[in-house]
Structure 1
Amino acid sequence: MNAYEELRYMSDQGVATLVFNRPERLNAWTPTLERELRDALRAAQADESVRCIVLTGAGRAFCAGMDMEVLQRAPASPAATQEASDDDSQQRYGYFWDIDKPLIAAINGPASGVGLCLALFCDLRYVVADAKLSFPYARRGLAAEHGIAWLLPRLVGPMACADLLFTGRTFLGAEADQLGLARALPADGFLEHVQAQARDIAQLSSPRSVRVMKRQLLEARYQTLGQATRAADAAVAACRGTEDFKEGVAHFLEKRAPRFTGR
Structure 2
Amino acid sequence: MTLVLAEHRGPVLVLTLNRPDRLNAWNDDLENAYFALLDEAEDDPGVRAIVVTGAGRGFCAGADMSDLEEASTTGDLRPRTPSRPRTFPLTVRKPLIAAINGAAAGLGLVEALYCDIRFAAPAAKLITAFARRGLIAEYGISWLLPRLIGPSRALDLLLSGRVVEGHEARDLGLVDFVAEPVLDAAVEYATELAAHCSPASMRVIKEQVHQDLDRTFEAAVAVADRLMLDSFRRPDAAEGVKSHLEGRPPAFPPLDPR
TM over 0.5: yes
The offset of 1:10, in angstroms, is: 1.2
Alignment partner, residue 87 of structure 1 = none
2:7 aligned with 1:10: yes
Alignment partner, residue 76 of structure 1 = 75
Contact 2:45 2:254 in 1 (8 A): no
Alignment partner, residue 90 of structure 2 = 97
Pairing 1:119-198 to 2, within 5 Å after superposition: 119-187=112-180, 189-198=181-190
The offset of 1:129, in angstroms, is: 1.6
TM-score (ref. length: structure 2): 0.93
* Letter of the 1:176 counterpart: A
Alignment partner, residue 62 of structure 2 = 65
Q: How far apart are the structure 1 equivalents of 2:227 and 2:89?
A: 23
The offset of 1:184, in angstroms, is: 3.7
Contact 1:103 1:123 in 2 (8 A): yes
The offset of 1:92, in angstroms, is: 4.0
Q: For this pair of structures, how many residues does the alignment match?
A: 252
The offset of 1:93, in angstroms, is: 2.5
* Letter of the 2:192 counterpart: D
Alignment partner, residue 232 of structure 1 = 224
1:45-101 deviation per Cα after TM superposition (whole angstroms, max 9, x unaligned) = 1111111111100112101111211221225253x4168xxxxxx994321122111
Q: How far apart are the structure 1 equivalents of 2:65 and 2:167?
A: 27
Q: How far apart are the structure 2 equivalents of 1:251 and 1:186?
A: 31
* Letter of the 2:100 counterpart: I
Gap regions ≥5 residues in structure 2:
none
Q: How far apart are the structure 1 equivalents of 2:215 and 2:209?
A: 10
Q: Name the SS for the 2:59 alignment partner.
A: coil
Gap change, CA 1:260 and 1:203, over 3 Å in 2? same
The offset of 1:133, in angstroms, is: 1.3
Contact 1:129 1:184 in 2 (8 A): no
The offset of 1:115, in angstroms, is: 0.4
Q: Name the SS for the 2:60 alignment partner.
A: coil
Contact 2:100 2:182 in 1 (8 A): no
Q: How far apart are the structure 2 equivalents of 1:217 and 1:6?
A: 32
Give identity over the alignment, percent.
41
Q: Name the SS for the 1:62 alignment partner.
A: strand
* Letter of the 2:248 counterpart: R
* Letter of the 2:228 counterpart: V
* Letter of the 1:47 counterpart: D
Q: How far apart are the structure 2 equivalents of 1:119 and 1:45?
A: 19
Contact 1:65 1:116 in 2 (8 A): yes
Alignment partner, residue 26 of structure 2 = 29
Contact 2:122 2:166 in 1 (8 A): yes
Q: How far apart are the structure 2 equivalents of 1:253 and 1:186?
A: 34
RMSD in angstroms over aligned alpha carbons?
Answer: 1.7
Moved more, 8-17 or 153-162: 8-17
Alignment partner, residue 260 of structure 1 = 252
The offset of 1:18, in angstroms, is: 0.7
Q: Name the SS for the 2:24 alignment partner.
A: coil
